Amino acid sequence: MHRKNDPPVTAPPTVEVTFHMEDPEPLTGKHDKLVKVMAAKGENLLDVALDHGINVEHACGGVCACSTCHVYIRSGEESLREADDDELDRVEEAPALQVNSRLSCQSVITGDGPVEVEVPAWNRNAVKEVPH
């Protein structure tokens, strides 16, 4: 899936990404709390999640204009593109901010991984609970 003006991803899926979901059923319709997938360098974590049936909230469509795609990077942050100022400004608006908070739509895979991502239970409710 491709939502932004980034170049199309043509790399093979060589990077292991594991999604840990506190409450998986609303995100996937299943009860598996852990989903391990393969992703390509150049993909962002939001696209990787959506492409594998993990419906991470993304109110702005992945253009760094909300904060609903907020996730925690448990490990492997060195395999992700560093957050730029726009992302840092935006992620500060996210609920339950932590030092490992990232916007999944801005977290582009640049390294070999593996990457471990936590999708908090409140993710799906962010838009409805925090009116703008």
Nearer to ligand FES, 4 or 20 (CB): 4
Residue 103 touching ligand FES (CB under 6 A): yes
CB of 119 to ligand FES, least distance (A): 13
Name the residue nearer to ligand FES (CB basis): 31 or 131.
Answer: 131
Pairing assessment for the beta strands 101-103 and 70-75 based on DSSP bridges: antiparallel
Q: How many residues lie near ligand FES (CB under 6 A)? A: 13
Q: Does 94 bind ligand FES (CB under 6 A)?
A: no
Footprint of ligand FES on 41-70 (CB under 6 A): 58-60, 62, 64-69
> Which residue, 41 or 58, has its beta carbon nearer to ligand FES?
58
Cα distances (Å, whole numbers) of residue 116 to 62, 63, 72, 97, 100: 20, 22, 9, 17, 11
Q: Which residues bind ligand FES (CB under 6 A)?
A: 58-60, 62, 64-69, 90, 103, 105
